[in-house]
Structure 1
C-alpha cells in the first residue's frame, strides 16, 4: 500500500506540473533519472507514476523519442480534466466548452423541472435571486457566486432525473472557480440576475418550452459575456 501511495503522490505532482504549464501539450517530460532526483524517489516509482498518467492518456510514449504530454482533449480522466479546468492557466477553449456542456445539460434539466418543480423549490429559486441581487449591491462576490450556484442546483434536482444531478456533482469545483472569474464583472452580474428572474418566472408558469428557452437564453448570454469581458480582457 505504501508503494502505491508513493506512486500516486508522484503522479499527482507530475500532473500538477503539467497543469501549471511547465510541460505544455506536445512537449517531452523529463526522463526517469531526472524525475526520480526531482521527487526524491526511485526510478521504479517514477516509471509506475508515468504509467498511471499514460493509462489516463495524459502522457503518451513514443519509442525512441520519449514521453510526450497529450492535448487536454485526449485525456481520459474526468478528475484530471476538471483539475486542469479549475487550476490551470487560462484556457479559452476549455471555458467555452464548459458552457457548451452546461447548455446541453441545464436546458434539458430546466425543461424537465417545469412540470416537476415544487412550490417550495420555486420559493427557494426566488430567494436565491434576491440573495444574488443583495450581494451585487454590496459587491460581495463570494455571496453572489454561492447564490448563483444554489439557484442552478435547485433546478438540477427539481428535474427529478437522478443522473443529471450526479453528472453535475463533479463539476461543482470547476464551476465555482469559473463563476468567481466571470462574476467579478458587475455587468455580468446584472445580466445574470435578469436571466435568473426570467428562468424562475418560466418555471413558475409550468411551461417546459418557455423554461428551456429561458435557460438557453441565459447560457447564450453567459457565453457572450465570457467572450466580451473575460477572454478579451
Structure 2
C-alpha cells in the first residue's frame, strides 16, 4: 500500500505566511486590529497551531505585527513594515490598484540612482567608461526586441550602480528594480517611440558620467527614471 506524499511542512508554512501577508496588505486585517487567535487561524488554513505560531514570528520579523504574550497579536501600521522584504513588496505591488506604491517606488529609485550616477561620474576610470558604453550599445543593438531591450536597460542601470561604489544603495535599488520589473502594472504600456526616448535618456546619462559631471549625471538619471515611469503609467488609475 502506497502512502500518499505529504506536502513538506516548510512549504505549507510559506504558503500560510504568504497568504497572511496578503491579508494584512489588502486590509483584511487592518492596522491596529487584533489578529484572529491561533485556534481560529489554524482552522481557517487547515494547519497546526505550530505552523501559525511560526508564521506569526515571521510576520513580526517583517514588522507587520506585534506579538504580546497574553494580549494577542496586533497589526502594525505600514510605517513599521519592512518594505524591502520580498513577500511584503510583492504583495504591495500586486495589490497597488491606484499605483501609489509604484509612484513612491519610482521616486525612491530616482533619488537613489541619481546619487549613484553622481558618484559614478566622480569615480569613473577607463574600464568603467568602457563598461558603461558597452551597456548603452547593448541597448541600441536590441532596440527592436522588446524583451531584450528591457533586459539591456536593467543591465545598464546595474553598471551605473556598480560604478558608484555604494554597495548599500546598490543593494536597495536592485531590490526595488527586481520586484518592480516583475509587475505588469510597473511595465505599463509603451507609447510610440518610447524605446528611442529611453535610449536617448541613457545616452545623456552616459555622456554626463563620461564628462565626470556629477550634477548633470544626477539630473539625467532622475529625469530618466521619473520620465520613463510617467510615460508608462496607466492614466486611468489616478494620480
User: Which moved further from structure 2: 71-80 or 149-158?
Assistant: 71-80
Q: 1:69 to 1:172 in 2, by over 3 A?
A: same
* Match of residue 45 from structure 1: 51
> Matches of residues 37-186 of structure 1 in structure 2 within 5 Å?
37-59=43-65, 69-76=75-82, 78-79=84-85, 80-90=87-97, 92-137=99-144, 140-178=145-183, 181-182=186-187, 184-186=189-191
Listed as ranges, the gaps of 5+ residues in structure 2 are 1-7
Quote how far apart the aligned CAs of 1:217 are. Answer: 1.9
Distance across 1 between alignment mates of 2:24 and 2:171: 26
Aligned CA RMSD, in angstroms, stands at: 3.7
Quote how far apart the aligned CAs of 1:145 are. Answer: 1.7
Is the 2:13–2:51 contact (alpha carbons within 8 Å) kept by the matching residues of 1? no
Quote how far apart the aligned CAs of 1:165 are. Answer: 2.4
Is the 2:205–2:217 contact (alpha carbons within 8 Å) kept by the matching residues of 1? yes
Distance across 2 between alignment mates of 1:193 and 1:155: 15
Q: 1:176 to 1:86 in 2, by over 3 A?
A: same
Quote how far apart the aligned CAs of 1:174 are. Answer: 1.1
Quote how far apart the aligned CAs of 1:197 are. Answer: 0.9
Distance across 1 between alignment mates of 2:73 and 2:173: 33
Q: 1:128 to 1:183 in 2, by over 3 A?
A: farther
C-alpha distance after superposition, 1:71-101 (max 9, x if no partner): 5443136314322245444452210111111
* Match of residue 32 from structure 1: 38
User: Higher helix proportion, which one?
Assistant: 1
Is the 1:107–1:215 contact (alpha carbons within 8 Å) kept by the matching residues of 2? yes
Distance across 2 between alignment mates of 1:119 and 1:100: 31
Distance across 1 between alignment mates of 2:226 and 2:83: 28
Is the 2:180–2:186 contact (alpha carbons within 8 Å) kept by the matching residues of 1? no
With normalisation by structure 2, the TM-score equals 0.74
SS at 2:148 equivalent = helix
With normalisation by structure 1, the TM-score equals 0.76
